Amino acid sequence: MSQTIKVAVIQQPCADTAGEAMALSEDCLRQAAANGAQLALLPELHNGHYFCQEADSAEFDRAEAIPGPTTEKLSALAKELQLVIVGSVFEKRLAGVYHNTAVVLDSDGSLAGCYRKMHIPDDPGYYEKFYFTPGDAEPGFQPIQTSIGKLGVLVCWDQWYPEAARLMALAGAELLLYPTAIGWDPADDAAEQQRQIDAWQAVQRGHAVANHLPVLTANRIGVESNPQQASQNIPFWGRSFIYGPQGELIAEAASDPSGNPELLYAEINRQRTEDLRRIWPFFRDRRIDAYQRLITRA
Amino acid sequence: MSQTIKVAVIQQPCADTAGEAMALSEDCLRQAAANGAQLALLPELHNGHYFCQEADSAEFDRAEAIPGPTTEKLSALAKELQLVIVGSVFEKRLAGVYHNTAVVLDSDGSLAGCYRKMHIPDDPGYYEKFYFTPGDAEPGFQPIQTSIGKLGVLVCWDQWYPEAARLMALAGAELLLYPTAIGWDPADDAAEQQRQIDAWQAVQRGHAVANHLPVLTANRIGVESNPQQASQNIPFWGRSFIYGPQGELIAEAASDPSGNPELLYAEINRQRTEDLRRIWPFFRDRRIDAYQRLITRA
């Protein structure tokens, strides 16, 4: 494995149908590869409309198996472009058991691994508990080994949990990656919207610092209407980013309301994590004898 | 208890002897009270030189009991000024058992509680493992009840640990408070120094967001020489701050190289934590069934 990895984060709008949405992703993936990226991260559930704005059982028709059409298409692109691709699938595991699943295709086209979202949100406009069974991997929060390193892949709501980032780091992750779908409530005022977007970046920057790991986050961009209540919608806020392992901002995308795709790039030097853990050895001093309450509710 | 609390963070230089250092703290505490503060936070080990630059057994002479001279002085000031004071003491608990201990004096002068630093650093210039036995409270990470609320008091190196902040939040803390002594290595270049100070703020801002709690941090300011190697010293970087419970920056002190004291103020509305935990209910969705590895080394 080389000491440096060139990574790309894809911020894109997501069309309603899988075919249109995948065409957008494919364009971005080709562009990332043309620019030398060895790894590309797509947004959460990039292969269609964000259907969780309502709880509607008909929407389960969007789900698919893994492997299935989306992973097969991503696999072919990964192999052709010699690119590690982190994608996201509405997974049908069994009738009645559906997951929000990140998939990792290695640069030879093989399915390197999956991560089923562990923390499931449920808020007005984001009715994810209706659709997604929480992940149940044993042990949970395991990084996925690829040809370019161990990827600590998490999904969206996971990003608010220092526990998830720490567990991935303890299990040897070399990067943290978050496919994401998050936007504003148009009813909030501008100051509240600003605090929310800043909080979202801040908590993930904290994960970079606390674990000395780079953090890559790919968000959707553009406004998606609510199919049942046209007066409501989600303006996805974009602002995808890449932080280095000291929390330094390397690249940040815009909140472009026109919803154009935008790609971010960074050269990640994997030695930097090792160096930082020597000068500020947080992991040495964890008080594991006094952390038991972390596995309680309150 | 009132819905809002006015808090003050004291950034100060620390003189070598306890008498001189306490005189500086007293000036700042009187100023905080005169400006209406109900709570004031002092820096780590404010009552003297930062002696941990070298491992020198003679320095244990600085330690004192709790209650002892420093808490008695702080108690008298707390009562006179009707001010909750969070101070910091080099505690002698027993010959051979010394702690780095935060002390909380309630506004009636009573000792509301102590917190013995749990995570102990040990780096060139910060030989704290030589001096300080790690805290052993059972259960650990308990907030301290005062007349103005439950204070999640932690100390310096603890600030890098999301675990510590989370444990305090789970135990009901309403504020997180960090007395701190951190500075630059003069051998680092300016870019590295900037990354370090930014990382230090970023990780604590992350604690505010992840737990929806205000975070108050008081650092020392000014250059303190190393008594044994005059060519070395620590330029404490100041930059004390107050973040609100959404990670919003409320107040920030300078890195004034002349080492002048600086006070920060904020009005904390305790209802805001409750409101935020309703709109972004992170605590509802913690995966306590999958966090066991947090109590392991790796």
Of A208, A246, A291, the CB nearest to B163: A291
**Mean pLDDT to the nearest integer, B136-156:** 97
Take residue B81 and report the two structure tokens written for it. Answer: 């000024």
pLDDT band for position A30 (50/70/90)? very high
Catalytic residue chosen out of the listed positions A73, A128, A156, A224: A156
Backbone angles phi, psi at B270, to 5 degrees: -70, -20
Question: For chain A, what percent of residues have pLDDT higher than 70?
Answer: 99
Question: For chain B, what percent of residues have pLDDT higher than 90?
Answer: 94
* Strands A149-153, A144-146: pairing kind: antiparallel
190-229 of B, contacting A, C-beta below 8 A: 195-196, 198-199, 202-210
The beta strands (E) that lie in B148-212 are given as: 149-153, 175-180
pLDDT band for position B1 (50/70/90)? confident
Q: Tokens 């308990």, residue?
A: B142
For residue B208, give how far its alpha carbon lies from the nearest alpha carbon of chain A (Å).
8
Q: Which amino acid is at A12?
A: Q
pLDDT at B36: 98
Contact B297 A279 (CB under 8 A): no
pLDDT digit string (tens) for B237-294?
A: 999 999 999 999 999 999 988 899 999 999 999 999 999 999 999 999 999 999 999 9
| Average pLDDT of chain A, as a whole number | 96
Buried b or exposed e, range A157-167, using 16+ CB within 10 angstroms: bbbbbbbbbbb
Take residue B102 and report the two structure tokens written for it. Answer: 């935060």
B125 touches chain A (CB under 8 A): no
pLDDT band for position A228 (50/70/90)? confident
pLDDT band for position B125 (50/70/90)? very high
| Best to test chain A binding among B287, B288, B292 (most A CBs inside 10 Å) | B287
pLDDT at B217: 98
| Best to test chain A binding among B161, B269, B278 (most A CBs inside 10 Å) | B161
Question: Which residues of B belong to the active site?
Answer: 44, 117, 156
* Overall number of domains in chain B: 1
User: For this structure, is A59 an active site residue?
Assistant: no
Q: How many CB pairs under 8 A join A and B?
A: 178
Catalytic residue chosen out of the listed positions A28, A91, A117, A224: A117
Contacts of B247 in chain A (CB under 8 A): 195, 198-199, 202-203
Backbone angles phi, psi at A87, to 5 degrees: -115, -170
pLDDT at A12: 97
Q: Tokens 């051998």, residue?
A: B187
Please give the angle made by the CA atoms of B205, B211 and B217, to the nearest 5 degrees.
40
Q: Which contacts (CB < 8 Å, 24+ apart) does range A71-80 have? A: A71/A103, A71/A105, A71/A111, A73/A22, A73/A26, A74/A103, A74/A105, A75/A105, A75/A109, A75/A110, A75/A111, A76/A109, A77/A26, A77/A29, A77/A30, A77/A105, A78/A105, A78/A106, A78/A107, A78/A108, A78/A109, A79/A107, A79/A108, A79/A109
Rounded alpha-carbon distances, angstroms, from residue B212 to A139, B252, B281 = 29, 19, 10
Pick the closest to residue B114 from B144, B147, B156, B73 (CA basis). Answer: B144
| Residue B165 · residue B153 · CB < 8 Å | no
Contacts of B210 in chain A (CB under 8 A): 160-162, 203, 206
pLDDT band for position A137 (50/70/90)? very high
Find the closest chain A residue to B126 by CA distance: A280
B188 touches chain A (CB under 8 A): no
For residue B164, give how far its alpha carbon lies from the nearest alpha carbon of chain A (Å).
8
Model's pTM, two decimal places?
A: 0.98
Contact B141 A170 (CB under 8 A): no
Q: Which amino acid is at A100?
A: N
Contact A170 B118 (CB under 8 A): no
What is the CB-side half-sphere exposure of residue B203 using CA atoms within 13 A? 29
Q: Tokens 């984001």, residue?
A: A126
24-83 of A, contacting B, C-beta below 8 A: none
| Average pLDDT of chain B, as a whole number | 96
For residue B206, give how far its alpha carbon lies from the nearest alpha carbon of chain A (Å).
4
pLDDT band for position B226 (50/70/90)? confident
Q: What is the DSSP letter of B292?
A: G
Beta bridge partners of A84: A39
Question: For chain A, what percent of residues have pLDDT higher than 90?
Answer: 94
Of B162, B199, B288, the CB nearest to A166: B162
pLDDT digit string (tens) for A62-78?
A: 999 999 999 999 999 99
User: For this structure, is A44 an active site residue?
Assistant: yes
pLDDT of A230 above 80: no
**Mean pLDDT to the nearest integer, A241-267:** 96
Contact A170 B296 (CB under 8 A): yes
A248 touches chain B (CB under 8 A): yes
**Mean pLDDT to the nearest integer, B144-158:** 98
Contact A210 B198 (CB under 8 A): no
pLDDT of A141 above 90: yes
pLDDT of A172 above 90: yes
Please give the angle made by the CA atoms of B280, A119 and A179, to the nearest 5 degrees.
90
The beta strands (E) that lie in chain B are given as: 4-11, 39-41, 84-94, 97-105, 111-116, 144-146, 149-153, 175-180, 215-219, 221-225, 233-237, 241-243, 249-252, 262-269
Find the closest chain B residue to A293 by CA distance: B167
pLDDT digit string (tens) for A44-102?
A: 999 999 999 999 999 999 999 999 999 999 999 999 999 999 999 999 999 999 999 99
pLDDT at B39: 98
Q: How many other C-beta atoms can be found within 10 angstroms of the C-beta atom of residue B251?
A: 18
The rounded distance, in Å, linking the Cα atoms of B180 and B155 is 6
Domain that holds residue B33: 4-295
**Mean pLDDT to the nearest integer, A205-218:** 98
ipTM of the complex: 0.97
pLDDT at B41: 98
Backbone angles phi, psi at B25, to 5 degrees: -65, -40
Contact A161 B282 (CB under 8 A): yes
pLDDT at B292: 98
For residue A119, give how far its alpha carbon lies from the nearest alpha carbon of chain B (Å).
6
Q: CATH number, domain at A178?
A: 3.60.110.10
Of B163, B170, B282, the CB nearest to A298: B170
pLDDT at A13: 96
pLDDT at A264: 98
pLDDT band for position B47 (50/70/90)? very high
End-to-end CA distance of chain A: 43
